[in-house]
Amino acid sequence: MKQKTGMPGKKEEEGNSLADRFLKGVGIATWQNAADDGLSNWSRFAYQLWPFSKLGISATRGKYKVGKSCNFWERFHDILDTMEELGLEPNVTLWHFTHPTWFEDLGGFRKEENIPLFVEWAQFMFRTFHKRIRLWATFNEPTCYSFLAFIVGMAPPGHIFNLIGSGRTMLNILKAHTATYKALKAMPGGQEAQIGLVNHHITFAAAGEGPLHKVASWMAWWLTYWWGWDIVDHWMHTGEFEWKLPVLGTWITWKDPEGKPPCDWWGINFYSRCVLSWYLTPACFPNDVMTDMYYPIYPEGLYNCIKRSSQYGIPMYITETGIADCRDDRRALFIDTYFKAVLRALANGMDVRGFYYWSLMDNFEWATGFTMKFGLYAWEPDGSVDRVLKEGAHTLIRFYKTLPDAIENLRATARAAQSQLGADMGVQEEMEKEDYVYVDEEQRLVGQDGSKKQLS
């Protein structure tokens, strides 16, 4: 079937192979993008059918969850029916933090013996939907989960500094990825499916100087380590897992006898870096533009992440990136600079095949509830705001609708833009024009010179 972006008058480009196309998409999650009762976005989809194509979107990335609704399977088939009619390419994730209570009661991924239960679930989902879905991710952000759930207590089971539990859980999830990949590939349709893994790429840095800065630097190093990018990076290259503890040194080691893990594509979830003050609270560097999530807009970090991940030698998708911006006055800057970072990577020959903005609509953002406004559409779970397109979203629409879908055509366009705008697509100059660095208690943007601007 020919894939389309829904753009009026746009000439269709040849080819339906995933290798030939750059997917322009949004992320949604069953758990995070739905409320209760009649206000659920699941229910509204069934009655109104979301107009994805008006955004120029050619793909969606969703995360499947098991619920008790008797309409669960019918609803997903309804969604896939509509996506096929609109020419959208689904990219689904089998695990995104949430567990059935019975699985958690058994110890979840803290116990290696529970891995076959997840594999069985994945096989069931693949058997049910493999004829309709080509892109699959086994896990979403395993390192983020092990950090939030076992080190800082911001996700179930809510442990605080259970460093050993965090390491064991991360290792078991990585083992589960390999087991799931092999199981799905062995099933009918498995060889045609593209099965990947999605990782959250984040680093921590310390601001300031002096003796207390050294303490912040020490903590930033360990936070970066425990979030696990370096650990997963080493595992992707070698199949070796190593988990260290302060003072005690290496605590967990494991090596896959078959070497580096199987993976058809790599999912990059990138938002920013976190900067710590000397007293270990969120901070920023000069000229950083802060988001509502206490970290800055950092497009250079996305480019560096793509460059490092390209060493795996497999296709990459930007599976999540987005901004929490309650006033919608930084979203356009974020989208423009981050998308240009991807175009820069394409111009420089890196194998990036898609960009998914998080999220289609304002969502439940875990420990922060509904307060962080990531959505392209404004939405409130009580129904007071019902999917109103934000002004900042038009920047993404412009990219999606005007840039070609064929990846080689897009690469040529990116190189032409780079020749005009400079090696970094003009991003540094664009960022330097924005000198507001954080939001104060009165909801004002405060600049490096102390100037204040009321958010509107």
Every domain of the chain and the residues it spans: 18-201+257-272+293-454
d(CA 279, CA 271): 23
Question: How many CB atoms neighbour CB 242 within 10 A?
Answer: 17
Report whether pLDDT(407) > 80.
Answer: yes
Residue 31 contacts residue 96 (beta carbons within 8 Å): yes
The pLDDT tens digits for 65-107 are 434 444 667 778 888 888 888 889 999 999 999 898 999 999 9
The pLDDT tens digits for 340-360 are 999 999 999 999 999 999 999
What pLDDT score was predicted for residue 63? 57
What pLDDT score was predicted for residue 381? 83
Query: How buried is 320 (Cβ within 10 angstroms: 0-12 exposed, 13-18 middle, 19+ buried)?
Result: buried
Instruction: Give the helix ranges, DSSP H, for 25-114.
Output: 41-48, 72-86, 101-105
Q: Check residues 158 and 47 and name the one with the higher pLDDT.
A: 158
CATH topology of domain 18-201+257-272+293-454: TIM Barrel (3.20.20)
SS3 (DSSP) at 412: helix
Amino acid found at 183: A
Angle at 108 between CA 102 and CA 111, to 5 degrees: 130
Strand partners, 61: 27, 91
Confidence of residue 118 (pLDDT cuts 50, 70, 90): very high
Q: Which tokens belong to 149?
A: 């759930």
What pLDDT score was predicted for residue 455? 42
